[in-house]
Structure 1
Amino acid sequence: MRLTVFSVSALLVVSLLERVSGLQTIVGKYGETVEVPCNKGNAKAEDIFITKWKYTKADSSTGDLLVKSGGQNAIASSDVDYLGRVNLTKDLSLRIAQAKLSDQKIFTCMVVIGTDIFEYPVQVKIEKAPSAPTITNQATKMEMGKLTTLGECSTKDANPAANIIWLKNNIPLVADEKVIKLTTDVQTDKTTGLLSTFSKLEYAAVKEDLNAKFACAVQHKSLASDLVSAPVTFVINYPTEKVSLQVISADPIKEGDNVTLKCKADGNPPPSSYSFHIKGKKVKIENSDMYTLTSVTRASTGEYKCSLVDNDTIANSANITVMYLDINMTRGKIVKHLDESFEATSTVNAAGVPQVSWSKNNAKLNAPPKFDKLKYSDSGVYECVVSMAGIVRKASFELIVQGAPVINKLTKRRSNDGNFKVLSCEAEGSPKPTVQWSINGTNATETPYVEGRITHRITIIPTVNLTVNCTVYNDLGQASKSLDVSTLFEEVTMDKREDSSDQTRVAVGVVIGVILAAVAIGLIYWIYMKRTRQGTWKTGEKEDGTLEESKKLEENQSQKAEV
């Protein structure tokens, strides 16, 4: 027999001995499918005669959803709220599609097993995660110390309602109604029933909040972590309490440099104009915070100050030291005479302790030039280099040592082939001496003029014996020397005589050497024989041989000795 929904209801009203189990709660996600178990999933479909799902309405009345008898298909009620949204699973669980907030109610699974009837109520709750928070109506600027609406944070379409907290530099703000004031409002969507939360932050800013980052975060039970808005910063206005003066320039500051003074205030917004105090003179600069000193000098050294235009007491100062370096020394050409004394001096005027170095003809000197007696070799270009703190000054002079010329050496020699005579005149003097010979010559050459010395050479072929003069002169005087020069023929004859005399002396030396050698040999032989004869005599012994033999022996030895 097939039971209708109404007959089952009547049966239940009359004969049901209710056995109600403890209330179970499940949470479903908004818009998703929610599955409500019957008897916590412990009911066996083959043992159940009739299964019915119903729900409790707001007025405590009940509404039917569907009923299933034995192995037959479930029959759904005509409830418009659930039309097409509910069905049963194999284990008799109620499946509700597209969950709504209106699905938050108690659903009851009623089963008939044999002659017993059981009810298993389940509380269903629907949760909806809120949207990401956003900050709107934010302030464009804030007055320091004044409670001002910083902005409004909102998060929408949640269930239950989301909680909003405010953060400053990631640290939660706690309302104290003086510096921090929070106002929260929750609104319900008339169509969906979802909840939107709004929070307004009123804040009294301090100077340190100038670069602070404010954000709002959402806390909700359905979220694994909080949602945080994009951080925002605010312009905070506060008056200037102090200024600072910055000197912008190369270090160190040297004469001729440009120096910029920059005045900076701690107020917000900063002043657009400043007063610069330059050497006792007050200069107002509008729409700028800088003042430039061009081509500073040592007179620019001193204290400089900047201040607010309308308040000279809010000021700051800085000292500027301009480095300078002067060198005073004789320049150009310095002419001195030979054997005079000379000492180079220089006067340095500097802002500090400089380094001084000297050089002569680009070669470094260990000390400033100082001479007790000048020589021609002391002539040259002397340079003094003074440096300090990146400043370099140079000064130079040319020292010229002058003297009347002298002839150091006058010589003659034959050329290598013996056909000429080469005359050399070595002179010394400054300015450069001019060399003049008393005889004309050929192949005239002159060595480079170095350190006051010069050598002049000529080639001649003398046909007669003569005396040659060498004369040297400059603006300061002259000197002359003479030299006897013989003909080439006479020098050849003299050379031969000298060669013959030399050969005779050699021959005599050889003869004398031979005689001395012979005498030495004879003397040595005589000593030897004498020692031999003395050695043949023995004391107390009788001679062997006759008297005649002994005399002959002595004569023979005597002859040998004479030879």
Structure 2
Amino acid sequence: MASTSFQLLAFVIAGTLSQVWGTESVTAMYGETIVIPCSDGGMAAKDLMFIKWKYEKDDGTPGDLLIKQAHSDQATVQATDNYAQRVSIDDKFSLLITQASLKDQKTFTCMVVSVSNLMEYPVSVVVHKKPSSVQIMDKSEVLQRDKLTTVGTCVATDANPAATITWKKNGKPLLSDGKAVAINPSLKLDPATGLSTTSSTLQYAATKDDVNAVFACIATHESTNQETDLEPFPIHYPSETVNLEIKTPVAEGDNVTLKCQGDGNPPPSSFFFHIKGRKVLVENSDTYTLTTINREDTGEYKCSLSDNEKLEASQSILVNYLDLSLSPTGKIVKTVGDPLPVKMEKNTSGDAKVSWTKNGVAVKEPEFSKLTYADAGIYLCEVSTTSFTRHQSFELVVEGKPVITSLTKHRVDDAKHKVLTCEAEGVPEPSFQWSINSTNEESSYINGKAIHKITVIPKVNLTVSCSVTNRLGEDVMTINISSIFEEGEGNKDSSEDLEDQSKLIVGVVAGLLIAAAALGLIYWLYMKNSRQGSWKTGEKEVGTSEENKKLEDNNHTV
């Protein structure tokens, strides 16, 4: 140290001039190593004696840091303060200071001493620090419509220089206008570290359109931007309109739910329902149910907010109804040939469609002036509207005592038997009884018509009877059949046919005789009337006096 001072003193005595270059600037990052170059470090003079680094203390006095001889590998640290453990020098004579802090924002000077010269290179050090964190504090849960509400406070901590905070909504910058947007910035300096904390509080008057808005704060520091987003806020605002919903159409007997809704956020949950002159308070719900509604409930219904009855809505309810009356109904038992009046009456709030079915098949509206067996069945009347359908039905049973409608005989080709067929009508189903033994009986019964067939082998000529019976009465019919053994080959049923032909001839002759007698009687009456009508008073007629007297007597008698 003594030799160095001696050399410096020698330079001064020798009249060597000291040259000071302009101050340069170095920016370092907080906590990192500061590298301060010596501007002449790249040009190592052959007559270089040593390099010395010094700095200006806070009180303005100089302070030594280290010195390095030209031909020495190690530098000698001269500092005795905080820098003693933090300074070093590299092979380019640059000063290295570890763990940069804001207290290192000073001017450091590199002094280059050679045999012929002394040069000084001052360097100003600036230490920057980006914010340790950027976060939004005191975030609001909801925003109020048309009212300044705090969105949150954005804080950028421990920066140098201080960070700049801006706010955005949906990516667009927000500017304070004191009405819809209010931004209040603040700055706090930590005296221990010298670092700055920037805060910015945003107040915002929301609208309905801001329901899905995304707010963000951006902390800008030198070339670094740190952005923090907020989730969309629910926007609270009172209801401006009320709506009453009623599901239609409404049918008599239905349960009808009235639903009242306000357009506020959060939605209102307490309402007054105005029900046919009554005011009903419903809390924590927006519905009211009318159970088993009837036609007398037709009318206007209202609802309103419980805390603002001026906001109300109304809706009319039309209760649709349908009454159906059918006569007769149930099971009806009638006698064939009787009339049956059918009467259907309907009462409805609107248009109705009427349809009829019989045993499931569409028919016209039934009219029974004279019942037949074919009229029997199950009749269903259906009346339908847009709201509902009504049904009523009756089962018609047509009864009557049995009546034989046909009794026939038939022989097939060369068969040795005959088939007798007895047909009858009647309800309940009639039972058949024959006066002859038979085989291969067949029977059927459809819509009041019964058919019974038997197979017989007549050995002699017979008169066979068919009788039918049900609980209402009976009927009998006979038929003549001849023996199959008396019928010749190739003349099947010839005797029976001859007998039938003889009966037919006798009938025809008898008819002709009766017709001739009738014509003769008519002719005689005609002639008699004609002769009586030819006599006139005062006229002379040819005839005996006896005949004239008889004629006059006849005239008087007539």
TM-score interval (norm. to shorter):
0.7 to 0.9
CA–CA distance in structure 2, aligned partners of residues 454 and 389 of structure 1: 46
CA–CA distance in structure 1, aligned partners of residues 375 and 10 of structure 2: 143
1:437 maps to amino acid: W
**Match runs of 1:4-153 below 5 Å:** 6-7=5-6, 10=9, 17-39=17-39, 42-44=42-44, 48-73=48-73, 74-112=75-113, 115-138=116-139, 151-153=152-154
The root-mean-square deviation of aligned C-alpha atoms, in Å, is 4.0
Match of 2:483 among 482, 487, 508: 487
Does the 8 Å CA contact 1:215/1:232 hold for their aligned counterparts? no
1:495 maps to amino acid: E
Deviation at 1:234, TM superposition (A): 7.0
Matched, 1:301 2:301: no
CA–CA distance in structure 1, aligned partners of residues 380 and 271 of structure 2: 49
SS of equivalent to 1:115: coil
CA–CA distance in structure 1, aligned partners of residues 404 and 170 of structure 2: 98
Deviation at 1:453, TM superposition (A): 1.6
SS of equivalent to 1:39: coil
Deviations 1:349-405 (A, max 9, x none): 444444554433234x27555689865444322333444446333233334445554
Matched, 1:291 2:288: yes
**Match runs of 1:449-460 below 5 Å:** 449-460=445-456
Equivalent in the alignment of 1:510: none
CA–CA distance in structure 2, aligned partners of residues 11 and 366 of structure 1: 142
CA–CA distance in structure 2, aligned partners of residues 79 and 130 of structure 1: 32
Equivalent in the alignment of 1:332: 330
CA–CA distance in structure 2, aligned partners of residues 218 and 137 of structure 1: 17
Unaligned runs of 5+ in 2: 494-558
CA–CA distance in structure 2, aligned partners of residues 178 and 33 of structure 1: 48
TM-score by length of 1: 0.73
Shift in alpha-carbon separation, 1:315–1:47, aligned structure 2, 3 A: farther
SS of equivalent to 2:79: coil
Equivalent in the alignment of 2:433: 436
Equivalent in the alignment of 2:228: 228
Does the 8 Å CA contact 1:132/1:229 hold for their aligned counterparts? no
**Match runs of 1:150-549 below 5 Å:** 151-168=152-169, 170-203=171-204, 214-223=215-224, 225-228=225-228, 230-231=230-231, 233=233, 236=236, 240-247=239-246, 249=247, 252-266=249-263, 273-309=270-306, 311-330=308-327, 331-333=329-331, 346-363=344-361, 365=362, 368=365, 376-389=373-386, 391-402=388-399, 405-413=402-410, 420-441=417-438, 444-447=441-444, 449-474=445-470, 478-491=474-487, 494-495=488-489
Shift in alpha-carbon separation, 1:488–1:146, aligned structure 2, 3 A: closer
Deviation at 1:193, TM superposition (A): 1.8
Equivalent in the alignment of 1:502: none
Deviations 1:130-162 (A, max 9, x none): 133334345677776665655433221111111
CA–CA distance in structure 1, aligned partners of residues 466 and 270 of structure 2: 88
2:357 maps to amino acid: S
Shift in alpha-carbon separation, 1:196–1:445, aligned structure 2, 3 A: same
CA–CA distance in structure 1, aligned partners of residues 490 and 61 of structure 2: 168
1:383 maps to amino acid: L
Does the 8 Å CA contact 2:28/2:128 hold for their aligned counterparts? yes
CA–CA distance in structure 2, aligned partners of residues 157 and 281 of structure 1: 67
SS of equivalent to 1:31: coil
TM-score by length of 2: 0.74
CA–CA distance in structure 1, aligned partners of residues 147 and 92 of structure 2: 65
Shift in alpha-carbon separation, 1:143–1:484, aligned structure 2, 3 A: closer
SS of equivalent to 2:254: coil
Deviations 1:169-203 (A, max 9, x none): 55443223345433332222232221112233455
Equivalent in the alignment of 1:533: none
2:451 maps to amino acid: T
1:262 maps to amino acid: K
CA–CA distance in structure 2, aligned partners of residues 130 and 7 of structure 1: 49
1:105 maps to amino acid: K
CA–CA distance in structure 2, aligned partners of residues 346 and 188 of structure 1: 98
Shift in alpha-carbon separation, 1:323–1:25, aligned structure 2, 3 A: farther
CA–CA distance in structure 2, aligned partners of residues 496 and 147 of structure 1: 125
2:24 maps to amino acid: Q
Percent identical: 46
SS of equivalent to 2:489: helix
Deviations 1:294-327 (A, max 9, x none): 1222333332111234653221112333343444
CA–CA distance in structure 2, aligned partners of residues 270 and 497 of structure 1: 106
CA–CA distance in structure 2, aligned partners of residues 45 and 401 of structure 1: 143
Deviation at 1:291, TM superposition (A): 1.7
Deviations 1:454-503 (A, max 9, x none): 21133444343111122335566654332212234324xx236669xxxx
Equivalent in the alignment of 2:544: none
- How many matched pairs? 491
SS of equivalent to 1:102: helix
CA–CA distance in structure 1, aligned partners of residues 472 and 153 of structure 2: 106
CA–CA distance in structure 1, aligned partners of residues 47 and 458 of structure 2: 162
Moved more, 461-470 or 137-146: 137-146
SS of equivalent to 1:495: coil
Equivalent in the alignment of 1:520: none
Unaligned runs of 5+ in 1: 500-563
CA–CA distance in structure 2, aligned partners of residues 483 and 427 of structure 1: 15
SS of equivalent to 1:193: coil
Deviations 1:274-306 (A, max 9, x none): 221112222233454332111222333332111
Shift in alpha-carbon separation, 1:231–1:6, aligned structure 2, 3 A: farther
Shift in alpha-carbon separation, 1:387–1:37, aligned structure 2, 3 A: farther
Does the 8 Å CA contact 2:419/2:456 hold for their aligned counterparts? yes
CA–CA distance in structure 2, aligned partners of residues 468 and 211 of structure 1: 103
CA–CA distance in structure 2, aligned partners of residues 71 and 417 of structure 1: 158
Shift in alpha-carbon separation, 1:35–1:346, aligned structure 2, 3 A: farther
CA–CA distance in structure 1, aligned partners of residues 380 and 490 of structure 2: 61
Shift in alpha-carbon separation, 1:143–1:426, aligned structure 2, 3 A: closer
Does the 8 Å CA contact 1:127/1:222 hold for their aligned counterparts? no
CA–CA distance in structure 1, aligned partners of residues 367 and 49 of structure 2: 135
CA–CA distance in structure 2, aligned partners of residues 203 and 13 of structure 1: 71
